[in-house]
Amino acid sequence: MRRDAQAVLLLLVGGGLIRLAWTGDYLDYVKPYAFWLILPAGAVLLVVAAVTAWGAWHERKDGHEDHGHDGHGEPKVAWLLLAPVVGMLLVAPPALGSYEAERTGTVVGAEAGRSSYPELPDDVDPVPLTLLDYAARSIFDDGLTMEGHRIQLRGFILYDGDEPQLARMVVSCCAADARPVKIGLDWEAAGARPELAADQWVEVVGVYTSRQGRDEINGELVPYIAVESVTGIPTPDNEYQ
């Protein structure tokens, strides 16, 4: 691989990273804090690309055609770096959603060790909670802290058989370790059940119910919420939690 080709490759990888950071699309793949990792990494790669290009240009000016025998035959395997560039810039896959969530067990067990469940504020109605927080308070604290509060949850819809559930992907490092947390929807209070499409983002307002189900994939408990209202919302910038 010639020097100038290497420079272009480095430019593409570095530029791809910076573009992800710039557009905010990186949130589909990694945690928000990774912004401060990918931006400098992209910048370093651009500098390396610039130094490489400058060296290649300088050499040519001095009359040396570069035949690639710097190093031990530059690695052909480097061509594979085009794959993530294509992935980042051209394919740009969306964040993991219901397809993934339907195939992975709910993650709530990780919160089993949590010891304190702070009281919810009285002056907010409904109280916004994350799905993971709601599930942990329901399962490990029997919903005690949620008595007398209306709760607001935001997530996407997935189907467990023909029953819609609310879910959100929990990511601890990157999307490769994404696991869903699932909440069942109890429609008794709401009456009719509206038509909900899988992957549709919704805001659910409701109250705690002691009803619980089990996730068939890993046997974990799935808490329910007694739904009062469901409203469609636009997909958030950061779909993971």
Question: Strand 179-186 and strand 127-128: pairing?
Answer: unpaired
Q: Please list the residues that pair with 159 across neighbouring strands.
A: 164
The nearest distance, CB 60 to another protein, in angstroms, is 12
- C-beta of 185 vs 220, nearer to another protein: 220
Enter the tokens of residue 15: 């530029």
The nearest distance, CB 107 to another protein, in angstroms, is 5
Enter the tokens of residue 138: 């329901």
Residue with the two structure tokens 């607001």? 152
The nearest distance, CB 22 to another protein, in angstroms, is 13
Give the number of C-alpha atoms closer than 13 A to the C-alpha of residue 2, restricted to the C-beta side: 12
- C-beta of 137 vs 179, nearer to another protein: 179
The nearest distance, CB 194 to another protein, in angstroms, is 24
Amino acid found at 125: D
DSSP letter string over 35-58? HHHHHHHHHHHHHHHHHHHHHHHH
- C-beta of 128 vs 236, nearer to another protein: 236
- C-beta of 198 vs 226, nearer to another protein: 198
- C-beta of 194 vs 219, nearer to another protein: 219
Residue (of 85, 86, 107) closest to 96 by Cα position: 107
The nearest distance, CB 172 to another protein, in angstroms, is 4
